[in-house]
Amino acid sequence: MSMDRKRFLKLIGVSAVAAGLPGCGPGAGGGTSGGSRLPRRMREPVQLPGAKMAVVKGAGPEAITRRAIEELGGIGMFVSKGDKVLVKPNIGWDRVPAQAATTNPEVLAAVVKLCFEAGAGQVLVLDNTISDSRRCYVRSGIKKAAEELGAQALYLEDYNFRSVNVGGELIREWPVYKDALEVDRIINVPIAKHHSLSRLSIGMKNFYGLMGGRRNQLHQDVHLSIAEMTAFFAPTLTVVDAVRILTANGPSGGSLADVKQCDTVIASVDPVAADARAAGLFGIDPAEIRYLVIGSQMGLGSLDPATVETREIQL
């Protein structure tokens, strides 16, 4: 009878896998749709007098990004002088920008530039990557784009994760990157892409990149985990990079055949609406995306982007 090492260890009674999921509540795996226990939020949402979402389409990632934020009242609505700002892109994969698995460096650069124009004291750019960090940061173009403007592109170190009380139904406590806890503002700058488990990976899913631990353990209720971490991090602003979107084989992608040019940026103070609007670029009804439904039920934002006051601009 053939046997591998794992089966042998089990046979002699050595447990190689911990029973249960540390840090998760009894609702784990139950497929709950937003239980009664809501995560604590790091900051209150920004109240805007006018439009809550801007969708700008046109050539030139920097131009459409700037215009999208301008339509919401300008960067001054989100960043104050002296603020320490985390600009959170998706740098998860060892990919070049054309493959649309990581945030477009020009979109990121536009946001970083605006933060400094608003007087930000410090701008951090980071992500807990899947592939080797150094390759991801460099090949995505994000390290260069960030550092040329004076932002700090930080590689994450294991010892800088802190276990925090998230307080959710699924995620009670989880290791989170320390720097993400010590900033005044979080501006979420995800790329819009297909995801084989959650269907889409846009802004709300992007917060997985601030988490440590064995994140795949959360896949048994990935939708609730996405909503809970969005509630916890409570982004100041979401700027969705849809200049190119990854339509299939996400999250890692790789094939240029899966990339669709959309030349669009979506900016919103409503993280659910931003994702819901971006879902439309994939021809997906937001009501079919369970993390959006849960996020809406949690009060994080609007599932129907049509109900959100929006500026639609074609440059």
Partner 1 sequence: MWTRSVNYPLALVLLVGPILFFACGNKQKQADSALIALLPREQLPGQLSAAAKTDIYRDVDLYKYIDGGADLYLECGFEEVAAGEYTTRSGESIFANLYRMADPDAAFGIFSLTRRVDFRPYAAGTMGARNDYQIVFCKGVYFIDLQTTSSDSAISRDMEEICRRIDQGIQAPRDFPDVLRLLPRPGFIPHSEVYVRGPLGLNSRHFVADQNIYALNDSTPAALAYYHLREGGHPALIMVVAYPDSVEARRVFGALESHYESKAQPDDSASAVFKKLPTRLTYSSNGELEVVIRRGTILSTVFDVIPLEDPGSAPSADSSSPGK
Q: Which residues bind partner 1 (CB under 8 A)?
A: 2-9, 12, 31, 92, 96, 98-99, 130-131, 195-199, 201, 215-216, 219, 222-223, 247-252, 254-258, 282-284, 288, 290
Closest CB to partner 1 among 47 and 216?
Answer: 216
Closest CB to partner 1 among 152 and 255?
Answer: 255
Minimum distance of partner 1 from residue 6's CB (angstroms): 8
Minimum distance of partner 1 from residue 211's CB (angstroms): 12
Question: Which residues lie across from 278 on neighbouring strands?
Answer: none
Evaluated on CA atoms 279, 283, 288, 289, the torsion sign reads negative
Closest CB to partner 1 among 22 and 167?
Answer: 22
Minimum distance of partner 1 from residue 26's CB (angstroms): 20
What are the φ and ψ backbone dihedral angles of 165, each rounded to 5 degrees? Answer: -85, 100
Question: Which residues lie across from 174 on neighbouring strands?
Answer: 164
Closest CB to partner 1 among 80 and 249?
Answer: 249
Query: 313 and 55 in contact (C-beta within 8 Å)?
Result: yes
What are the φ and ψ backbone dihedral angles of 104, each rounded to 5 degrees? Answer: -60, 125
Minimum distance of partner 1 from residue 138's CB (angstroms): 13
Closest CB to partner 1 among 13 and 49?
Answer: 13
Minimum distance of partner 1 from residue 148's CB (angstroms): 22
Minimum distance of partner 1 from residue 229's CB (angstroms): 14
For residue 54, give Cα distances in angstroms to 50, 124, 125: 11, 24, 23
Specify the long-range contacts of residues 273-276, CB closer than 8 Å, at least 24 apart: 273/52, 273/53, 273/301, 273/302, 273/303, 273/305, 273/308, 274/53, 274/202, 274/203, 274/238, 274/240, 274/301, 275/200, 275/202, 275/203, 275/204, 275/238, 275/240, 276/302, 276/303, 276/304, 276/305
Query: 118 and 75 in contact (C-beta within 8 Å)?
Result: yes
Minimum distance of partner 1 from residue 283's CB (angstroms): 5
Strands 191-195 and 199-201 turn out to be antiparallel
Closest CB to partner 1 among 40 and 214?
Answer: 214
Closest CB to partner 1 among 197 and 315?
Answer: 197
